[in-house]
Amino acid sequence: MLFKSLLSFAILITIALSAQSQKAKVKRKGVSPLEVTKTQVPIKSRYMLEQFTGKWQEVSRTDKTNSSISFKDTLFYNFLKTGKVYSRDGVNMSLMGEAAIEPGNVLVAAADVFNIRSMNNNQVVLDDGDYLHTLVRKKEFWSETLPSNFIEAEKFTTPVSVVASTLLGKWKIYRRDAKPGDKNNRVLIRILNVTKATSNNTATGELMFYSSEKLETLPCNITLNGEKIHITTSKDSWNMNVYKVDGNNLVFGNTSLMYYCKPF
């Protein structure tokens, strides 16, 4: 009887030691044993969520070869002190969600997840796995500078004379007035970037426009003649009148299509 009891006790000890050994190490074919009972120390992030508090707007985008990418779904984020974030891109509606910094320099912004590549007080570079997004801190978003009553904006019927130097800057169209069904307006200007006034009547720059639902950017030449503006690229040309230019507004167009611009 005593022998049986000692034998049973020895078997129980053997089973316990075997289970403990199996728990300590897991081995798969071709893989070295891993200690599964040890808690791995997570990689700490170099950044804190408090650094993001405020408004951030995307200004550039590149692919993995560092080539610049044209985009129309600009990223906007407004990080609140409560740990919430409002996110919006140039296409979709605003979304409110949780914001967090996770181990390994990972930023969670509502439905978006990025690796933080670099950051200072006024600029951050975020990696979504496909593209690198450069965002800058803003006191207010570009869209917030637009007039809230632009639907009831003044009508422009009398062209004004203009010289090239008054057009310098990057102008983004926030509104277009076009005649319904006008087939001549298939190529639509989105951004006019006037970089150099070569004389009082001529300038150069870049033009971003939609052509067959594709967004393109090409160098452009600008010629002025009184109130007339003539814009040309290697593909298209535009002949229009200028109706207003005052540093904060640029309005140009013709009887079938009018463009309303703000500095960008």
d(CA 45, CA 101): 7
> CATH 2.40.128.20 occupies which residues in the chain?
150-263
Q: What is the CATH number of domain 49-143?
A: 2.40.128.280
What are 18-60's pLDDT values in tens digits?
444 443 333 333 334 444 444 455 567 789 999 999 999 999 9
**CATH architecture for segment(s) 150-263:** Beta Barrel (2.40)
207: its two tokens: 């033009």
Largest CA distance in the chain: 118
Q: Which residues pair with 170 in a beta bridge?
A: 193
> In this structure, how many other beta carbons lie within 10 angstroms of the beta carbon of residue 261?
22
Is the CB of residue 191 less than 8 Å from the CB of residue 173?
yes
Query: Residue 24 phi/psi, 5° resolution?
Result: -75, -30
Q: Does the reported pTM lie above 0.85? A: no
Per residue in 66-118, pLDDT (tens digit) is: 899 888 788 889 999 999 998 877 655 567 888 999 888 999 887 788 999 99
Cα–Cα separations (whole angstroms), residue 160 to 126, 170, 207, 221, 253:
44, 20, 22, 20, 12
Rounded Cα distance between 22 and 43, Å, is 28
237-245 and 214-225 strand pairing: unpaired
Residue ranges, comma separated, of all CATH 2.40.128.280 domains in the chain are: 49-143
87 close to 76: Cβ distance less than 8 angstroms = yes
Residue 231 and residue 229: Cα distance in Å, rounded? 7
Q: For residue range 137-191, what is the model confidence (pLDDT) as tens digits?
A: 998 886 666 555 444 446 788 999 999 999 999 998 877 877 655 555 567 888 9
